[in-house]
Structure 1
Amino acid sequence: MKPILFFLFILLSFNSYGQKLEMTNKVGTFYEEGEQAFWRHMKRYIKYPVKAQEKGIVGISEVNFRINCDNKLESFEILKELGYGIEDELKRLLIDTEGNWLSCENRNENDVYNLSIAFSLKDEYKPREGDCDMVVNAMCDCKFIEDSVLEKKLDKALSQEKYAKAQEFLTQLINRYPNDEKYQEISNKINSKTKVD
């Protein structure tokens, strides 16, 4: 049985870096000090990379990881990448948890854990309920492109048959809303058109 992080509660607070956090998940019983200790660690030490803030990068980063019997991070797989140092930050935080997981006598060494964190700027981007485990919100003077603006740019690029440009805008929307079927359908259409051309 794979431990998967489940939706449990929403909690708003600020971490020591002035970033507002929403935690919406239950990590399970595999963290030695319990799920609350895991989320306290995440809340207290997570940093929204400055490069990502400056580029206006928002969306959901999702990773899978395993902890071996020596209580070390053994594998780290990026499933949904935002880039600009965000996944490096998630890996750094998970490495910081080494030594704090239950022994292999109390869990399966082969279990794969899933973590999805949304990164937002100035409360402008709100992931849909159930799309992620936690939200990191940088309260900075950063640029943010509204969803409606991205959708207009996407429509314009599609009408002009500029598929590479359309894919750029679409990728930003998919990063924000990975479970939105409408965006996935548009992506499939773009991919089919570019394969034919």
Structure 2
Amino acid sequence: MKITIPKPCHEKWESMTPQEKGRFCAVCSKTVRDFTNDSDDEILDYFSDFSSQNTCGNFYELQLNRNMQYSIINSLFSKFAIGFILTTGGIVSVNAQENDSIKNSAIANLQGILGAVSPNSPNTVIPSTRGMPSSIQVNSELLWVIDHKIVEAKSIRDFDSKKINSMKIIKGAEATAIYGSKASNGVVIISTKKSFRKKN
């Protein structure tokens, strides 16, 4: 999944009234949820619920316009296959509010040194963006198969990597020949250790 901001608005985060999970914007009469401290997994969980579409959100610039499924896949396989990296994603389109300091991140992007921004430096302004999702499209998800059964991507987040006996990734014509059009973005095939398999 990817979060994008097609039309940012310009209300100041600092002028909003603080609340438990963000701030209240008097201009649009909505709570703006703060996603700046959330992990990719937490953001994915939040936006996988379609009722979240009417929520405004505050994001760091670095949280936007990138595939967010990376951390789920990488965290699952990091113990199993060191260095294994696989990304995919749909798009979450967000109508949003943009902080004036976003231009600072554009300079960092041009230099290719995003790691140079340190939130602990006293004069550092961390770019953030706020807004409301207008649509959620999850049309680029991988197909997950565990022990010959297709499972939902959500169930992979809690999957114990110690259970993995083998893992195979197939894509392209091979994937669609075996699993049909639902496998057009690739298939992750996991075989669990015999001791962990459910008995029917």
TM class by shorter chain equals: under 0.3
State the structure with more CA Rg. Answer: 2
What TM-score, normalized by structure 2, do the two folds share? 0.25
What TM-score, normalized by structure 1, do the two folds share? 0.26
In proportion to residue count, which structure has more helix? 1
